[in-house]
Amino acid sequence: MTWLEELAEVARDLREEWALTPDGEPTNGRTALVHPVRTADGRPTVLKVVRPHWEAEHEALALQTWGGRGVVRLLRADPRRFAILLERLHTEDLSGLWDVQACEIVGGFYRRLHVPAPPQLRTLSDQAARWERELGEKERRLPVPPRMVEQARSIARDFAKDGATDGRLIHTDLHFENVLRGDREEWLVIDPKPLSGDPHYEVAPMLWNRFDEYAGRIRDGVRMRFFALVDTAELDEDRARAWAVLRLVVNVKGELEDNPTPDKDWITAMISVAKAVQD
């Protein structure tokens, strides 16, 4: 049985247990099955079942903590089966907006979402310490300028020891497609991969997504997005920049580790954004 078939089986069980009626065709991403359903009283909702992995282990906790303020509302959860029932949103996301306008919207969400983190969450400082070790392994050779790898390693080392690296609830994957149009609010955030961390960590995904739209003006495009995010959220420019560089180098490491045939264009894009954010 494939992982998708396993999730479909879990979804069938939950529909029966929670008295849910299918209301459309299910869709899936790389790790989740999402099924439009209706509750017993006819309310349109979405049943999401995730393939168990650590990034998703506290999604329900994060949504519960936010309580629907700026985010999709959690209606029910079964953490043991990595399943949640959510209010249904529209399919429109921020991809259709001018990228700088979208950055201003996301920057506004940062200020609302970065509340004190629940104690159950994994910490960003632990993640930074792990990255520092992994980037320093002598057998690891990344297709990244050595100076940039050492810079990223130094950033990780410093942040791993920094008291401000932990403590706030951060989404960690907030980008254009993870903000959907809603009814309660014009836009609502979805799909957190929460950590106890530093708000400045959030900026990078908005820089590397919709990369093709930079269209030969990558330096100016990255800077416009970066400052729209930082200024709207009133973040520290240097700290946000440092986290972005580290995350971009780590993305290259992840591409090499996760794919037998790494995407060279993706790797080039990560290096280009890392250079541009520092120019």
Both 123 and 81 in a single domain?
no
Q: How far is CA 126 from CA 8, 216, 241, 253, 274, in A?
A: 34, 37, 20, 17, 23
49: CATH: 3.30.200.20
The range of the structural domain enclosing residue 77 comes to 3-87
Both 117 and 199 in a single domain?
yes
For 219-246, write each residue's pLDDT tens digit.
Answer: 999 999 999 999 999 999 999 999 999 9
Interval 268-274 mean pLDDT? 97
Boundary residue ending a domain (70, 87, 104): 87
pLDDT for 102: 98
For 124-160, write each residue's pLDDT tens digit.
Answer: 999 999 999 999 886 568 899 999 999 999 999 999 9
What one-character-per-residue DSSP string does 150-216 give?
HHHHHHHHHHHT-GGGSSEEE-S---GGGEEE-SSSSEEE-----EEE-GGGGSTHHHHTTGGGGTT
Q: Is the pLDDT of residue 39 over 80?
A: yes
219: CATH: 3.90.1200.10
Both 106 and 131 in a single domain?
yes
Both 105 and 208 in a single domain?
yes
205 residue type, one letter: P
Both 251 and 208 in a single domain?
yes
Looking at every residue in the chain, the average pLDDT score rounds to 96
Q: Number of structural domains, the chain?
A: 2
pLDDT for 138: 60
Both 71 and 166 in a single domain?
no
For 164-210, write each residue's pLDDT tens digit.
Answer: 999 999 999 999 999 999 999 999 999 999 999 999 999 999 999 99
CA 8 – CA 136 distance, rounded (Å): 41
Interval 254-264 mean pLDDT? 92
Q: Is the pLDDT of residue 82 over 70?
A: yes
H or E stretch including 127?
A: helix 124-135
Q: Is the pLDDT of residue 41 over 60?
A: yes
78 labelled catalytic: no
Boundary residue ending a domain (87, 110, 144): 87
pLDDT for 279: 85
Both 63 and 119 in a single domain?
no
Both 160 and 218 in a single domain?
yes
Q: Do 115 and 196 form a contact (C-beta atoms < 8 A)? A: no
pLDDT for 30: 87
Boundary residue ending a domain (87, 104, 122): 87
Which of 173, 220, 231, 238 is flagged as catalytic? 173
Instruction: Kindly give the pairing relationship between strand 179-181 and strand 187-189.
Output: antiparallel
CA 168 – CA 133 distance, rounded (Å): 24
Whole-structure pTM value: 0.95
